[in-house]
Amino acid sequence: MISSDYRKKMTDSWFSYLQIQICKSFEILENNKLKFTRRDWYKKNIKEGGGTSYLLTNGKIFDKVGVNKSTVSGIFPKKFRPNILGAEKNKGKYWASGVSVVAHMKNPKIPAIHFNTRFIVTSNEWFGGGMDVTPSHEDKKERKIVHNDLKKICLQNKKNYKKYKRWCDEYFYLPHRKEARGIGGIFFDYETENWIKNFKFVRELGLSFIDIANKVINRKKKLKFTKKDKQKQLFKRGRYVEFNLLYDRGTRFGLNSGGNIDSILMSLPPEAKWK
């Protein structure tokens, strides 16, 4: 039987590896002329872990892209425990590891891209995560590419793509605007059964994210755009900000687990506008 400590060690190692692979891939997109800067952070109680944040800004492809990985433990505040599976049964104790990526593009014809996978341990253990795409310009072919590739990786791992897609559509929705944040993707949480198969799915999804991101970016990186196109992107980014500050689970989790503020808010774009 695989021990909980082994599962923690394996997922932690994978997320570290994936973070580096994503950074290398994105630096290649920038023709290796621009490199990520690295920043390490630790919780106030250093025994409770910390994380590593990689940031790249003002590139030819990326206005701003952050690739974060963290492994933390501790005790959730009492008021937050009902929001986390199994947290109330073990007095709020938790362990969590994960990697998250948010990429805001220079060219407004290229959509913003988000990816996250995580493994959380309370009195339960589960995987969660997903990928979604937020364009400011409609592109039906792009939508098909993203969803077909995500569907393929789900089917390969006997996961319910329709359920994950629907979950993503419902999650990345702004109720106060009555509109979707983007064109969706997949979102999943509370995958508690069969750790080996779920870990395989999470690994393959991480590698697929790199492939999908490259496809989406390479299709449009040479397209010309106007000031009007850029303005449209900045207004769409405003919606992105609203979602991440009002509804995003990762933001709430980070703030309630003593995470690093700069890393938690890494997802925010470098510039946004509101009408």
What is the set of active-site residues? Answer: 114
> How far apart are the C-alpha atoms of 231 and 227, rounded to whole Å?
6
Closest CA to 245 of 261, 230, 234, 231: 261
| Tokens 């310009």, located at residue | 137
* Cα Rg, the chain, nearest whole Å: 18
Helix (H/G/I), strand (E/B), else coil: 118: strand
Closest CA to 102 of 138, 63, 60, 150: 63
| Angle, CA of 151, 152 and 155, to the nearest 5° | 85
Q: How many CA atoms lie within 13 A of 105 on its CB side?
A: 30
Kindly state the helix (H) or strand (E) to which residue 126 belongs, with its residue range: strand 125-134
> How far apart are the C-alpha atoms of 142 and 139, rounded to whole Å?
5
The amino acid sitting at 82 is P
| Angle, CA of 85, 181 and 192, to the nearest 5° | 20
